Amino acid sequence: MNKLQFPKYFLWGGATAANQFEGGWNADGKGPSTSDMLTGGTHTVARRISKEIEEGVHYPSHEAIDFFHRYKEDVALFAEMGFKTFRMSINWTRIFPTGTELEPNEAGLKFYDSVFDELLKYGIEPLVTISHYEMPFGLTKKYNGWAGREVIDCYVRYAETVFNRYKDKVKYWLTFNEINVGTMPLGGYLGLGILNEGTEDFIHQVDVPQLRFQGLHHQFVASAKAVKLGHEINPNFQIGCMIAYMTTYPFTCNPDDILLAQNEMKMHNHFCGDIHVRGEYPYYAKRYFEENNIEIKVKDGDLEILKEGTVDYYTFSYYMSNCASADPNLEATSGNLLGGVKNPYLKASDWGWQIDPKGLRYTLNEIYGRYEIPMMIVENGLGAFDKVEEDGTINDSYRIDYLKEHIVQMGEAIKDGVELWGFTPWGCIDLVSASTGEMEKRYGFIYVDKDNKGVGTLDRKKKASFDWYKKVISTNGEEL
Ligand code: BGP
């Protein structure tokens, strides 16, 4: 194998989300977000969506890992690893506490000024998700989240505010995290803030596909408006989309399996990217909508705005792959957002997500072949239990292996001709799991002392992967 060669400008870094690591959930005028209403859960016990904050209940986002108070220490650690970029999100409710205010909360804006300044001090380029799995709970109460068209204006006001405020500090933006979660029932609340009558928990939501797809339409319009506006505010902005890419293979060469896998790829992986990148609904949407009794209300001007607000680059999360089969009796496996049929050639993580580094090369080629625009992998990594040894060390060799194998395949994809701008592994510092609310599902290079019940000192410790990743960055991926 020839040496891997990453471009000189390659953005190595790490990724986080405000609701999963900031804490300070009601500090300085911040309002409650949809994620602040989610209780802790586990792999087998679903997170509950509480309509009010209940006394004595553990809400993992409320303190999370307290980046809110410890950002200087954390950014210094990222800098020590040599990060070129840091993916983070802005908590919408720090800026607009209920979502409907006309004026932003200055204290919230100041907090991100300080964080960006701290990053820039070390030459770390912020990569900012405008909405990552949270929105004001006020908008859920008032409009049933994105089901209400009014939310477009609330979002655009928020985006305009942060674009203007940080236009000289932030160049790379993403409009929504994993927007395609809205194509699945789980995304009703998680991605769209929709809370239908009768929903109690996160996994078994009362699902109304009509509302979900209408909500998604509102997000597409909001994203396109934000892209257009962002470019007016600063023509140097790079504004991208973010898709949860859940690569699906046909289980066999039986044409039924092939078609099933293709359909899954279309509706779950490509649908949103097609709209973001090409600026129009894809040809296959029509049949899907007809067969699922979905009728999207499109207002005059919506389709034009979709065309005018296409993204500059494409980003995605990649953790695993799955198979699709027409045979209902095959063994199932779980995965990020979507499960599937177990692949006999792959091993899985402790949470049942199948580990497939070569699938990343395949995926990069699939996406690039479709759009031919620059890409970034903004989430990838292994959620695992870590053990702190008596001497205080944490030897997460399994995480190093996982990342190493994925980086090798990224390098191969670059050789294939794919234009890849950067790589930000998920949860570079341990944080709260989005799906389960656990702390003990860890992804980080930096360990945070806190358990699933929320107990711990919050002390930070370097894992073995910390020094390993530092070397990867300093050699620009030549030494793995
Ligand atoms: C993605 C989300 C992240 C993150 C990650 C890992 O879907 O964008 O927010 O949490 O998956 O998933 P989990 O936290 O469920 O392990």
**Structure-block tokens of residue 421:** 């701008």
**Closest atom of ligand 1 to CA, residue 177:** 8
CA 215 centroid distance within chain = 18
106 is an active site residue: no
Closest CA to 425 of 440, 404, 394: 404
| Ligand 1 site residues, Cβ closer than 6 angstroms | 17, 20, 133, 177-178, 244, 317, 336-337, 379, 383, 426, 433-435, 441
**Ligand 1, from 337, 435, 436, 440: best to mutate by most atoms within 8 Å of Cβ?**
435
In this structure, the residue with its CA closest to atom 14 of ligand 1 is 433
Give Cα separations from 440 to 42, 71, 450 (angstroms).
Answer: 10, 21, 8
CB 419 within 8 A of CB 377: no
User: How far is it, in rounded angstroms, from Cα 98 to Cα 107?
Assistant: 15
Angle subtended at Cα 70 by Cα 69 and Cα 74, rounded to the nearest 5 degrees: 155
52 is an active site residue: no
- How many A from CA of 377 to the centre of ligand 1? 14
Q: 63, 118, 379, 412: which one is catalytic?
A: 379
**Closest atom of ligand 1 to CA, residue 351:** 16
pLDDT per position as a tens digit, 163-222: 999 999 999 999 999 999 999 999 999 999 999 999 999 999 999 999 999 999 999 999
pTM of the shown model: 0.97
Torsion of CA 267, 270, 275, 280, to 10 degrees: -70
Low pLDDT (below 50) residues in the chain: none
User: How far is it, in rounded angstroms, from Cα 106 to Cα 97?
Assistant: 11
CATH number of 11-474: 3.20.20.80
**Structure-block tokens of residue 36:** 């602040």
Q: 118, 178, 412, 438: which one is catalytic?
A: 178
**Ligand 1, from 65, 319, 336, 353: best to mutate by most atoms within 8 Å of Cβ?**
336
pLDDT at 277: 98
pLDDT at 1: 54
- Ordered by start, the domain boundaries in the chain are 11-474
- How many A from CA of 430 to the centre of ligand 1? 12
How many Cα neighbours within 13 Å face the side chain of 404?
14
**Ligand 1, from 186, 242, 431, 433: best to mutate by most atoms within 8 Å of Cβ?**
433
pLDDT at 3: 74
Q: What is the DSSP letter of 27?
A: G
- How many A from CA of 14 to the centre of ligand 1? 13
Residue 422, helix vs strand vs coil: strand
The secondary element (H helix, E strand) that includes residue 289 is helix 285-291
pLDDT at 2: 61
In this structure, the residue with its CA closest to atom 10 of ligand 1 is 434
pLDDT at 336: 87
- How many A from CA of 88 to the centre of ligand 1? 13
